[in-house]
Structure 1
Amino acid sequence: MIDHIGLQVSGYERSREFYRKVLAPLGGVLVMEVTAAQTGDGDHAGFGVQGVPNFWIGTSSNGMATGPVHIAFVAPNRAAVDDFFLIALAAGAKDNGPPGLRPHYHEHYYGAFVLDPDGHNIEAVCHRPE
Structure 2
Amino acid sequence: MIDHMGVTVRDLQAAKAFYDAAFAPLGICVVMSVTAEETGGSAHYGYGATADRRDIQAGKPSLWITEGGTATGPMHLALVAADRAQVDGFHAAALAAGGTDNGAPGVRPHYHPNYYAAFVLDPDGRNVEAVCHKPA
Do these two structures clear the TM 0.5 threshold for a shared fold by scoring above it? Answer: yes
* Match of residue 73, structure 1, among 79, 89, 109: 79
After superposing on structure 2, the runs of 4+ consecutive aligned residues of structure 1 that deviate more than 4 Å are none
CA distance in 2, matches of 1:110, 1:55: 18
CA distance in 2, matches of 1:97, 1:124: 11
Which residue matches 1:109?
115
CA deviation vs aligned residue, 1:31-72 (integer Å, no higher than 9, x gap): 010011011111100001100101000114x3x7xx431000
Which residue matches 1:14?
14
Shift of residue 122 of structure 1?
A: 0.2
- If the length of structure 1 is used for normalisation, what is the TM-score? 0.93
2:63 is the counterpart of 1:52: no
2:30 is the counterpart of 1:30: yes
Structure 2 residues not aligned, in runs of 5+: 50-57
Shift of residue 11 of structure 1?
A: 1.1
Cα RMSD between the aligned structures?
1.1
Structure 1 residues not aligned, in runs of 5+: none
